[in-house]
Structure 1
Amino acid sequence: MAAEKHLKRSVKSAVITVPAHFNNQQRQATKDAGRIAGLDVKRIINEPTAAALAYGLHSKSHSLSSATKNEDGSVKSNVVIFDLGGGTFDVSVLTLDGGVFEVKATGGDTHLGGEDFDNGIYEWCLEKITKEHGEKEADAIRASARASSRLRRAVESAKRTLSTVSNIEIEVDRLSSTVDFCETLTRTAFEELNGHLFQRCIDTVQSVLVDADCTLGDVTDVVLVGGSTRIPQLQKRLHELFDGRIELCKSVHPDEAVAIGAAVQGHILSTGAGGGGKDLDAASSTTDLLLLDVTPLSLGIELDGRLMSVLIKRNTSIPCRKTRTYTTVDDWQTEIDVVVYEGERPSIDANNQLGSFVISGVERARAGDPKVDVTFALDANGILNVSALDQVTGAEATAEIKAEQGRLSPQDIEQMIADAETYRAADVELVAKSEYKVALEEAFFTAQAKEGKNDEDELELADLMDWLELDSEGATLAEMQGKGRILEDKYGMIVAS
């Protein structure tokens, strides 16, 4: 909707980015969601890979002091994409050789993001409250959605500010009936609170480098992606990891890199080389870029003894196709259950089942004699198709990943598309509300920063913020506009979505 508003035309095709650690089912669910939204999903790509494309687009017109040059003059570099957002953390190692991006390895921590740094400060605040007002008061604040939300807002704001100043006062008036919270947090204290999180980030980088068969000395560039990479201590530790010889790349906007990369990939996939807009055209031609992504998890089938036989190893470049030959475990067996898994453990019990199917008509023979070829075909979106073929009888079967664990059947998809048409008017209202809420929040923060407010003004603005955080979801557009008029009439704000 926002893209259509900006472009002033309808959008029917899309490249969608996902966290690098997304599995097969999550990728398929994302593609299904795109189709339900009326989009032709041209490609699903990993977020760090998209960021690398944005970096590559930039580097085509900027010299890389740390990169090496091939005999033909093209640039070759080994790039670490460090992507730390609000709720996810991904690291990828890529080789950029001329215009070819090859992902060597990817990994991440599904339980690490900017919110974890917020949590460290949040718990520090509650400890301060416990010391001054008692554990009962701290528990009451933790249990109160309103109080907890207000404290977390202040904590997140403090974290952001500490990227540019050495200390910040965290102040929340009337946090509860007995608590007016005010404490000073220094950047040094923040770094001590979250030291273990910084170390987890560094450990992940080192682990992915090992997977990529790449040493610290081989790395030529480190690209920072995601708002949390603005934290100075994190940048310092990365700089020290590479012995200070690499300047961290900040030329690509950390909040926009993934979106820019998706746009580049869309341009590459489009039929015409032109029409990519001034930013794409400035890099001469994105058709000179070739992207070779990888699969984040190993893929295989169950063997006798509940073990997993891997056909496609983790970090294999995609698209790819792999075939292995299997046999029967019982005499005169004419059917074989093919159960498909993804994961890194030898036991299927620790891995994720994707689906299963049966191949019938297998050669009737002694155990070990029949030969059945199982083929895994992984497309450029990271979505898997599986088939099995008996070499003697010609019997064949194909995997159908059933509608389970987040997967949708074609009937489910069609029904959801029909529902989307039925509720289109309500959806338009929802979008309008969302856009107006963003404008309302921006006007609120501007009003909050104005000087000369009295206590009544401060209380009125605090109530408005609480309403935005806790009560606005169920409000109508008219009710939101009523709140906007308060800001317009009393504080001179212009609220326009």
Structure 2
Amino acid sequence: MGKTGDDAPAIGIDLGTTYSCVAVWKNDRIEIIPNAQGYRTTPSCVAFVDAARLIGDGAKNQATINPANTIFDAKRLIGRRFSDSKVQEDKKLWPFKVIEGPSDTPKIVVSYKGKAKEFLAEEISSMVLGRMKEIAESYVGKPVKDAVITVPAYFNDPQRQATKDAGTIAGLNVISMINEPTAAAIAYGLEEPFKMKEKKKKNVVVFDLGGGTFDVSILTMVEGEFGTFEVKAVAGDTHLGGEDFDNRMVDHCVKEFKRKWKKDLTPNKKALGRLRCACEKAKRILSSDTLTSIELDCLHEGIDFSMKFSRAKFEDINMEYFDRCIKTLEACLSDAKMKKPEVNEVILVGGSTRIPKVQCMLQKLFYQKELYKSLNPDEAVAYGAAVMAAKLSGNSDKRCRDLVLLDVTPLSLGIEVRGKSFSIVIPRNTPIPMKKSKNYFTSRDNQTCIDIMVYQGERAKSTDNHLLGKFSISGIPPAPKRVVTCIVYFEIDASGILTVTAEILSTGKMNKLMITNENRSLSKEKIEKMVKDAEDYKHEDQEYKKKVEAFNALEDCIYDMKNKIMNMGYSERLKIMERTIADTTKWIEHHEDASVDEVQAMKEYLESICMQEF
């Protein structure tokens, strides 16, 4: 697939739950692109203040004073139903409001410019992606259009498509989406190539524990310095990560506060926001120190909160999560039909892999094997995505050209049968492309029509999984139940497009459903509206920036004029200038909503009065 921009490079974006990262192939290597603050990762956070929208560091920095209008964790909502138990659990912890929208869709509600505004998770994610696009454009000096976006390996189809929609809303042409652990393995392959004479293949486990999601992928790197990546199995939890560890710490502190002061601070959103921020900092410190303290003045009803937090306590309250990670990894090894001694490398990805207990448990599982830590766990995924972006946009470098990725389907695919039972046709971790069929029978006497409901997931009950699409096949000749055979074929091509075909064996009558992006995405009209809304917000952001700059220029002018008149002798002229400076200062206090033109006019007036003397 070729580039659409004017020689603009394609970029790789790691859209994370808590932080995002963007990279590009430049000067024959991958460059991780810093943001305007010089940081190589940007908080996946969007805030709405009285007159502006903030994205990234600016949004995160004011979260404790504006909790109800600061949105984070959009990745935990994207592609999910409002009724999802995970959404209902998270809803209780988030300081911002989440309501039920049409078709069981979760919507985030904030107050902006005195009005309630509703957003889909795709829109919030698109704002973060838009910021990553701007960061890249500032770095390469050209408009950027094409991008590879990463997703957790265990994301289901609706979650993947919703992420792609977010990219479209942000003005990106999403040329591919790849799994986060696979991207990290590509980064490892580029950094640590191995020669054919040493071994013909290398088995690699990528353990990816981030802010909100957990993935494990087992890949085989096949022959050559940098070449074929064959995914053997993936497993994970799209709702497990550093945010959960923070939540456990917050919960522990809330209980301690209640025990000590007999007061419940949970209704106090600002107090909870401050406590969450303190817990996150303490968690990071506990990765290097064995003891830290959480100190917060006037946390709730004027009460100061102080408590010691040990690494042992942190491990104890989160052990359930750590155990879940290890069990998931063992299940993945089983799916890959790989024994632990056959694993050549264990690669750590995601900020939460810095937790000593996680590393200790992994080493124990792999017989004290040294873990691979040379990749930056916060940047490896964006790095690999940028390599894939370079390859897909026609980069002629041998390392890009030789890259071959053989993937698997992360979740089982099948249909609903009698009793709302889920009958699997393609099991999870089946290599793609592939085609498979299964025979089914009529369930009623003289049945003339069969409804085929296609689902994706691992639950025994069909409706607990994700409905991808449905179709019917009719004209079945009357017969007793279980006499007529219907063959259902599932075919997935290299692009991941699923085609389901049903055939009545006795008559040859067929019908089929192609489950493409169009079946699963927001409607074209909705996306177009969201793209327009995104442009409107961008315009508003630019106007707000101009206004802030105008006010700053006016305040600088007041400061300069005050300095200039300090040594003037007393005169009527001095009195006029002092009064004008005082009036302008007062005007600023009472005209926060003034337009850029009005502010500039005030500056010109101030200068016209005061500069006459100089």
TM-score after normalising by structure 2: 0.61
Cα distance in 2, alignment partners of residues 101 and 433 from structure 1: 47
> In the alignment, which residue of structure 2 is the partner of 1:135?
262
Superposed CA deviations along residues 112-166 of structure 1, whole A, max 9, x for unmatched, are 210222123223323432343x222xx1x22201111111111111111122223
Q: What is the CA distance between 1:82 and its match in structure 2?
A: 0.8
> In the alignment, which residue of structure 1 is the partner of 2:239?
111
1:413 aligns with 2:524: yes
With over 3 angstroms needed to count, the CA separation of the structure-2 counterparts of 1:386 and 1:170, relative to structure 1, is same
Cα distance in 2, alignment partners of residues 166 and 419 from structure 1: 47
SS at match of 2:378: coil
Q: What is the CA distance between 1:266 and its match in structure 2?
A: 1.7
Cα distance in 2, alignment partners of residues 416 and 118 from structure 1: 34
For residue 56 of structure 1, the aligned residue among 162, 177, 189 is 189
With over 3 angstroms needed to count, the CA separation of the structure-2 counterparts of 1:36 and 1:125, relative to structure 1, is closer
CA-based RMSD of the aligned residues comes to 3.3
> In the alignment, which residue of structure 2 is the partner of 1:197?
321
With over 3 angstroms needed to count, the CA separation of the structure-2 counterparts of 1:163 and 1:186, relative to structure 1, is same
Same amino acid, percent of matched pairs: 47
For residue 374 of structure 1, the aligned residue among 488, 507, 519 is 488
For residue 202 of structure 2, the aligned residue among 52, 61, 77 is 77
> In the alignment, which residue of structure 2 is the partner of 1:222?
346
Q: What is the CA distance between 1:361 and its match in structure 2?
A: 4.0
In structure 2, give the amino acid aligned to 1:339: M
1:298 aligns with 2:412: yes
> In the alignment, which residue of structure 1 is the partner of 2:73?
none
Superposed CA deviations along residues 417-452 of structure 1, whole A, max 9, x for unmatched, are 255236514234448989x99xxxxxxxxxxxxxxx
Cα distance in 2, alignment partners of residues 361 and 267 from structure 1: 51
With over 3 angstroms needed to count, the CA separation of the structure-2 counterparts of 1:39 and 1:325, relative to structure 1, is farther
> In the alignment, which residue of structure 1 is the partner of 2:538?
427
User: Which runs of structure 2 are paired with 1:137-156 in the superposition (5 Å)?
Assistant: 139=264, 141-156=265-280
> In the alignment, which residue of structure 1 is the partner of 2:149?
16
SS at match of 2:407: strand
For residue 385 of structure 2, the aligned residue among 243, 262, 273 is 262
For residue 454 of structure 2, the aligned residue among 335, 340, 348 is 340
Cα distance in 1, alignment partners of residues 248 and 272 from structure 2: 14
Q: How many matched pairs? A: 417
SS at match of 2:411: coil
With over 3 angstroms needed to count, the CA separation of the structure-2 counterparts of 1:11 and 1:402, relative to structure 1, is closer
In structure 2, give the amino acid aligned to 1:387: T
Cα contact 1:105–1:315 (8 A) shared by 2: yes
1:90 aligns with 2:90: no
SS at match of 2:138: helix
With over 3 angstroms needed to count, the CA separation of the structure-2 counterparts of 1:301 and 1:124, relative to structure 1, is closer
In structure 1, give the amino acid aligned to 2:209: L
Q: What is the CA distance between 1:199 and its match in structure 2?
A: 2.0
Cα contact 1:330–1:367 (8 A) shared by 2: yes
User: Which runs of structure 2 are paired with 1:375-414 in the superposition (5 Å)?
Assistant: 375-380=489-494, 382-390=496-504, 393=507, 395-399=509-513, 407-408=520-521, 412-414=523-525
Moved more, 329-338 or 170-179: 329-338
User: Which runs of structure 2 are paired with 1:446-457 in the superposition (5 Å)?
Assistant: none
For residue 303 of structure 2, the aligned residue among 176, 179, 186 is 179
For residue 160 of structure 2, the aligned residue among 24, 27, 36 is 27
> In the alignment, which residue of structure 2 is the partner of 1:490?
none
> In the alignment, which residue of structure 2 is the partner of 1:469?
none
> In the alignment, which residue of structure 2 is the partner of 1:240?
364
Cα distance in 2, alignment partners of residues 426 and 351 from structure 1: 36
SS at match of 1:399: strand
Q: What is the CA distance between 1:215 and its match in structure 2?
A: 1.6
Cα contact 1:43–1:381 (8 A) shared by 2: no
In structure 1, give the amino acid aligned to 2:216: V
Cα distance in 1, alignment partners of residues 411 and 188 from structure 2: 25
Q: What is the CA distance between 1:402 and its match in structure 2?
A: 11
Cα distance in 1, alignment partners of residues 443 and 250 from structure 2: 57
With over 3 angstroms needed to count, the CA separation of the structure-2 counterparts of 1:261 and 1:433, relative to structure 1, is farther
Cα distance in 2, alignment partners of residues 172 and 264 from structure 1: 44
Superposed CA deviations along residues 290-321 of structure 1, whole A, max 9, x for unmatched, are 11121121111223444333221111112333
1:320 aligns with 2:430: no
Superposed CA deviations along residues 402-427 of structure 1, whole A, max 9, x for unmatched, are 999x9445xx2234225523651423
Cα contact 1:106–1:208 (8 A) shared by 2: yes
